[in-house]
Each structure stands twice: as C-alpha cells, then as structure tokens.
Structure 1
Amino acid sequence: MPVRRCPAWLPALVLLLTVAQLAVAEWWPGIDRFADKAFGARLVAYPLLMLLAPAVWWVVAGRRRSERPPYGAFTLVMLPFLVDVTGNSLDLYDAVVWWDDLNHFANWLLLCAGLGLLLCGRVRPGWAVVLLVTGLGAALAIGWELGEWYTFIRHGTELDTAYEDTLGDEALGTLGALVAGFVVRRAVSAPAGDRSAAASSG
C-alpha cells in the first residue's frame, strides 16, 4: 500500500500562518489578549526556531544525500508554534481552563515526535529511542519555562502562581515527550522504506 507523503508546501503553510498571526499580535493595536505576552520576542524567535530543523537537516544531510527532505517531520516540529499562537489569537488560554495543560502535553508530543523522526533513525535498541526522545523533551520543557519566566512572567501578573504552573507544565511536556518516544520507537523499528515514509509523511 503506497504511503502518502507530506507535500513541501505544508510546513511552509504552517510557518506562514504562524508569522501572520504573530505580526497581527505585535502590530495591530488594541487587542487585549496579546498584551504583556512578549509577542515582539516571539515574532523573532518563533520563525527562527521553526526553521532550525530544516536548516540543520540541509547542512548535515541535504547536500550529501539524494533522499527527499522529511517534510512530515518538519511539519510536526513547526506545528506547536502555530498551535500556541492560534490559542492566543482565539483567546483560548483565558477562555478554556484546560487549554494550557492540553497545549503543553500535545505540543510536546508533536515537537518531540518530529525531532525523534529526524534524530533517531539509526538509534538502537528501541528503549534507547524512548529515553532519548523523552530526555530531549524534558530538557526542552525546562528551557521553554525558563524562557517564559524571563520574557514575561518575572515582571507580569502571573508571578505568584508561576512555580506551581511551571512544575505542571514541565511534567505535562515530559509526558508528551514520553508518548512521542513510543511513537518514534514504533516508526524507526519499521523497515527502512517505511521509516523514510514516516518522516516524510509525518
């Protein structure tokens, strides 16, 4: 049965939608839901982070391999940034109590699944894949929370509850990474052709 591959335009569309919403948040006046959330910093940081995986892949693999770029994996890595910005655009963080918790779990699952597909193709045994993806996700969760604290929590209105919220976010992100580890383990244990298709299709 042929595997439907992810088209090259899909990660480009995810990037475009993310940047467009960030631009509105930063430059469109009078939208309260975007206030004090460091969207100026995000407008710079998010596109750079979204393009980091494709850039590294091209430097490391693209110039010496004839294989098709793993657009599916790139899309998975980029999607959490779009989900985060869209959640702010739709005011879901304030309107839906559980949205932030779901975000940290689901976005880390997506992000770590994409990174795992890019990094773990030759990692063996399977348990090492799970540990690598989970550990990477935990480290990224800590880094993300440090970035949030530095950019807007330390001088904002959420400082009193930041400690408890940070612990919960890190735990949910790590749990999402653990689930991603099992997903990636299954993908990389498939035959070589199926592994390539999984990375390309996402």
Structure 2
Amino acid sequence: MTRPPWRCPPWVPVVLLVATVGQLAVAQWWPGIDRFADKAFGARLVLYPVLMLLAPVLWRVVVGRRHPGARPPFGAFALVMAPFLVDVTGNSLDLYDTVVWWDDANHYVNWLLLLGGIGLLVTDRVEPPWAVVALVAGLGAVLAIGWELGEWYTFIRQGTELGSAYEDTLGDLTLGTLGATTAGLLVVWSRGRRRPPGTATDEGLSPGSPPAAGGPGRRGRRRRPGAH
C-alpha cells in the first residue's frame, strides 16, 4: 500500500510570491539601506515575479486546458517559488555579508528546492529512475550556468567582486549541480511513495496517463489455468 500524495494548500505559493515581491519593493524604493545597494533589485523586482509565475502559467497552458478537472500541483509550484524568497530574505537580513557559509548553502539548498519542484512537474512519464535523476541534474546544471551569467552581467562585471568571481562561480556551479542531483534522487523517492509503478498522478505536467497493460482498469477474460 502506498501513501496518498501530499497535498499543498493553494495559499502557500501565494504567500511565497507576496513575501518575495514585498521585500523586493522595500529594497528598491526604501532609501538608505546599504545592504541593498548595487544588488540589481530593480531588475529582480521585474524578473523574480515573472520566474515565480512561470511554472503555474505553463501548467495552466499545457495541462489545465487539456484536463480541466486536474488539480494544480501547488506543492511543486511552492518548491519552484521558495528559492526566490530565500534569496531575497537573505539580502533583507544581510546574511550574505554576515554569515560566511550562507551563499554556499544557498546555492545547494535553493537548487534542491527549485529542481525538486521542476522535477515533480516534468518527469512524471520519464523512465527509468536513473533517467529522472539525469534529467533533473542536467536541468539544474543548465539553470546554474544561466544564473551565473545573469549575476555576472547585472552586477559582477562592474562591481568590486570581479577579482574573485571565477573561483566563486566554479563553487556555485558545483553546489547548484549537487543540489539538483539531490533533488532528482528525492523526486524518484517521492514518486515511489506516491504511487505504485505504472499508475498516473496529478502532480506532474502530464496527468491522465492510460492504465498499464494488465493493470487496474483493464477488463478482459481471465484465462483458465492450462488454457491456450
């Protein structure tokens, strides 16, 4: 017997979005806060909400229209949104400058959360399990590279951290990829707990999979022992 899938309340992603945008607005428009200086908060105020809403919008376009009765995977949405809140909160509490290990922990944990959510959304029909881990880890590596390019373009290339940027970037890429790999393993573990092999789930981008041959829902004659 498998346990039922964990249900995330729909208000959780909303709270994550509001808390992130609220802090970004304070950082951008509240004058005299030194820890927010030269951190590209104007760009983040535009980009972060867009990225946080991308998963729900894509799910609505890809799944919602084809399966109007499908329940949105609010838990996956929350996982995708959480890293943006963690990042902004770290700036608000000045953790990047006061806690030595915060930035490194951020890259590992945030990529674990982000790719955990993405993995739940896109790997529902991916088999075998090692392919799930490889896909999630690969997506994480690509997103880590994109993030580092964005950081370099927005504030590193014209800031005071250019001298140490190379070593820091290598560490961030490694930690992000490790976090994504961990997320892939957890997605595989989660899928095994949520449902037996061959059954569908409403937590991904592709619900409503047909029953496996010979599985639940197949009707046919039962062959008598010895019959040919």
User: Whole-Å Cα distance in 1 between the matches of residues 24 and 201 of structure 2?
Assistant: 33
Among residues 39, 42, 46, which one is paired with 1:40 in the alignment?
42
Change (3 A) 1:126 1:4: closer
1:131 is matched with: 134
1:52 is matched with: 54
CA displacement, residues 123-147 of structure 1 (integer Å, 9 cap, x when unaligned): 0000000000000000000000000
Map 1:1-202 onto structure 2 (within 5 A).
Answer: 4-65=6-67, 66-189=69-192, 190-191=194-195, 196=201
Deviation at 1:40, TM superposition (A): 0.1
User: Whole-Å Cα distance in 1 between the matches of residues 159 and 51 of structure 2?
Assistant: 24
Matched position secondary structure for 2:49: helix
Higher share in helix: 1
Kindly indicate whether the alpha-carbon contact (under 8 Å) linking 1:104 and 1:169 is maintained by their aligned counterparts in 2.
yes
Deviation at 1:192, TM superposition (A): 6.2
User: Whole-Å Cα distance in 2 between the matches of residues 125 and 117 of structure 1?
Assistant: 15
User: Whole-Å Cα distance in 1 between the matches of residues 103 and 172 of structure 2?
Assistant: 8
Amino acid at match of 2:33: I
Kindly indicate whether the alpha-carbon contact (under 8 Å) linking 2:136 and 2:181 is maintained by their aligned counterparts in 1.
yes
Deviation at 1:64, TM superposition (A): 1.4
Regions of 4+ moved over 3 Å: 1-4, 192-199
* Percent identity of equivalent pairs: 68
Change (3 A) 1:195 1:36: farther
Kindly indicate whether the alpha-carbon contact (under 8 Å) linking 1:187 and 1:195 is maintained by their aligned counterparts in 2.
no
CA displacement, residues 144-183 of structure 1 (integer Å, 9 cap, x when unaligned): 0000000000000100000000000000000000000100
TM-score normalised to the size of structure 1?
Answer: 0.94
Structure 1 portions without partners, runs of 5+: none
Amino acid at match of 2:107: H
Deviation at 1:78, TM superposition (A): 0.2
Deviation at 1:50, TM superposition (A): 0.2
Kindly indicate whether the alpha-carbon contact (under 8 Å) linking 1:3 and 1:197 is maintained by their aligned counterparts in 2.
no
User: Whole-Å Cα distance in 1 between the matches of residues 104 and 203 of structure 2?
Assistant: 28
RMSD (Å) for aligned C-alpha atoms = 1.7
Matched position secondary structure for 1:6: coil
User: Whole-Å Cα distance in 1 between the matches of residues 126 and 150 of structure 2?
Assistant: 30
Which protein, 1 or 2, shows the higher relative CO under an 8 Å CA cutoff with sep ≥ 6?
Answer: 1
User: Whole-Å Cα distance in 2 between the matches of residues 84 and 116 of structure 1?
Assistant: 21
Deviation at 1:188, TM superposition (A): 2.5
- Kindly name which structure, 1 or 2, has the bigger radius of gyration based on alpha carbons: 2
Deviation at 1:5, TM superposition (A): 1.3
Matched position secondary structure for 2:124: coil
User: Whole-Å Cα distance in 2 between the matches of residues 43 and 171 of structure 1?
Assistant: 27
